[in-house]
Amino acid sequence: MWFAILLSVGAVAIGLFFGLRQGKVNNQLLDEGRIVKRKYVITEQAEEFTLRGADFARVLQGIQDADLRGSGVSVQRNDTNQAFFFTGSNWKAEMYRKNDVGDQNVWYFHFTNWKTYRGMVQEHIPMNILITAIEKMFLSIDPGAQVQNIPIKVKTNPSFF
């Protein structure tokens, strides 16, 4: 009986320790401006950026200069289609240039797949680091950049076992 109680208290203490440690890391990333608190789940919405001066070469340079520390992301590019492919430890995203509107460039970013654990995105912090860096990059190119969040349909494959 006492062993079960001690085991339960130990499990709770370990959970609190790791939860508080992750909270401290999250607060540090927020303070540094490397992530942003979002009112939506980043995997359920795409972002469309409309701005001036965002040709492929300038966006490529911006991505190369972006602060992606801690995201564990690798970047591949497709010069022909003016697209970028981002791969994390267990997620992927893409960003591509859509048709321009007048003298403005339009870029579309979304996560294409990711792993979940009990319904929660496993690597949401590295994913948030990436999207925050992309938002900052576009704002550095054009401070008047506009972003539109576009809901996307998410297909899930629930596993019962």
In the chain, domain spans: 1-32, 38-151
Among 8-12, 74-78, 98-102, 126-130, where is mean pLDDT lowest?
A: 8-12
Comparing 140 with 122, the larger pLDDT belongs to 140
Is the full-model pTM beyond 0.85?
no
SS3 of the chain: the string is CHHHHHHHHHHHHHHHHHHHHHHHHHHHHHHHCCCCCCCCCCCCEEEEEEECCCCHHHHHHHHHHCCCCCCCCEEEEECCCCEEEEECCCEEEEEEECCCECCEEEEEEEEEEECEECCEECCHHHHHHHHHHHHHHHHHHCCCCEEEEEECCCCCCCCCC
pLDDT tens per residue, range 54-103: 999 999 999 999 888 778 899 999 999 999 999 999 999 999 999 888 88
CATH topology of domain 38-151: TATA-Binding Protein (3.30.310)
Phi, psi for 151 (deg, rounded to 5) = -60, 140
In one-letter notation, the amino acid at residue 161 is F
Residue 107's CB is within 10 A of a number of other CB atoms, namely 25
- Report the candidate in 97, 84, 81, 98 with the shortest Cα–Cα distance to residue 133: 84
- Report the candidate in 145, 154, 113 with the shortest Cα–Cα distance to residue 49: 145
27, exposed or middle or buried, with CB in 10 Å at 0-12, 13-18, 19+? Answer: exposed
In the predicted model, is pLDDT for residue 16 greater than 60?
Answer: no
